Amino acid sequence: MKKTILFALAIMALCNQPLKAQYYYYNDRYYDSPVVFEMGVSGGIMNALTDLGGKAGVGKGFIKDLRWATARPSYGAYFAATYNNAIAVRLEGTVGTIVGYDSILKKVASTSTGRYERNLSFKSRISEVQLGFEIHPLFIRNMDDHDPPRLSPYLILGVGYFSFDPQANLNGTWYQLKPLHTEGEGFKEYPDKKNYQTSQLNLLGGLGLRFELTSIFNVRLELVHRKLFTDYLDDVSTTYIDPNLFYNYLPANMAAIAQQLANRKSELNPNDMTNAGDQRGDPSNKDSYFTIQLKVGMTLGRRQR
């Protein structure tokens, strides 16, 4: 009987202790379960790298042609599940606006190799849903005998689904560019120019830095870049077409607008002569966009000791 009582007391004592395999102490008041959840909001900027705008000289790839003047606000919300603070899966929604305009090259027009004289511009609303994965290297090691760091750099990889809608302004009115087929997309005369889809997949990658304010709240700073599979984010990719063809495929009023928005060189130089087949964009480099955001998150799942 005595042995039975001692055994029962031992079992009760063990049951009242947090298991090392299930929890590690976050601080002197809280410990983590293996999986904690986080929800939060974000705000920052969105910018794009497209054919339009850029810096002096020939258009360059990636950030070499980046202009910060074209950055516009972005915001979003997210929900994440994190395992041992080391690996997380995150579902996030982001919205923002991107713009581009050749007039930004005015001060370097003489060295812009005709891009300023092209005189095109656009804006587009971006809506995106992404599934991302975070890797926090500092938490890969066993934390049972260490206090977890409050500052954690991390990597982000994932896939997104986004929509865009390039528009241009003509005499104070904004027109959607895709329905105007400004480069002859879908015209039988240009079989290599296919209609582009305004909802597509993208691949994303980036870096982040998380700082634990308290056991519940954290802040993050993130840079996330999106690799796209389209060169029509700005509705500019290949060559000018015969402007008379617009009347074969569009109503007369739309065809007249398409002619004006497809080739705007005459607004700067009425004597300009543009031929079908002349370069309008550069299809060798796909477009892309990125965000820099500050996030505020609330952690759910830490339990009080």
Q: What pLDDT sits at residue 33? A: 75
Q: What is the DSSP letter of 168?
A: E
**N- to C-terminal Cα separation, the chain:** 34
Q: What pLDDT sits at residue 22? A: 37
C-alpha closest to that of 64 among 74, 53, 72, 73: 53
Q: What pLDDT sits at residue 170? A: 97
Place of tokens 């899966």: 89
Q: What pLDDT sits at residue 56? A: 72
Report the C-alpha gap between 288 and 226 in whole angstroms: 6
At 84, the pLDDT band (50, 70, 90 cuts) reads: confident
More confident residue, 19 or 251: 251
Q: What pLDDT sits at residue 127? A: 98
Chain-centroid distance of CA 164 in Å reads: 12
C-alpha closest to that of 102 among 297, 264, 242: 264
With a CB cutoff of 8 Å and minimum separation 6, the contacts of 59 are: 51, 65, 115, 282, 285
Contact criterion met (CB below 8 Å) for 155 and 204: no
| Tally: H helices and E strands in the chain | 4, 13
CA distances (Å), origin 289, targets 42, 59, 62, 95, 164: 17, 16, 10, 12, 11
With a CB cutoff of 8 Å and minimum separation 6, the contacts of 19 are: none
Q: Global pTM?
A: 0.86
Q: What pLDDT sits at residue 300? A: 86
Contact criterion met (CB below 8 Å) for 168 and 177: yes
Judged against a pLDDT cut of 70, whether residue 119 lies above it is answered with yes
Which tens digit of pLDDT belongs to each residue from 171-202? 999 999 999 999 999 999 999 999 999 999 99
Q: Is 21 exposed, middle or buried (0-12, 13-18, 19+ CB in 10 A)?
A: exposed
We find that the CATH architecture of domain 23-304 is Beta Barrel (2.40)
At 59, the pLDDT band (50, 70, 90 cuts) reads: low
| Average pLDDT of every residue of the chain | 87
Which amino acid is residue 27, in one-letter code?
N
Q: Residue 95 is encoded by which pair of tokens? A: 């919205």
At 145, the pLDDT band (50, 70, 90 cuts) reads: low
| C-beta neighbour count of 17 within 10 angstroms | 8
Contact criterion met (CB below 8 Å) for 71 and 45: yes
Which tens digit of pLDDT belongs to each residue from 3-33? 444 434 343 443 344 433 333 445 455 556 7
Report the C-alpha gap between 71 and 48 in whole angstroms: 8
Least reliable range by pLDDT among 13-27, 28-42, 72-86, 89-103: 13-27
* Full DSSP string of 197-232: PSEEEEEEEEEEEEEESSSSEEEEEEEEEEE-S-S-
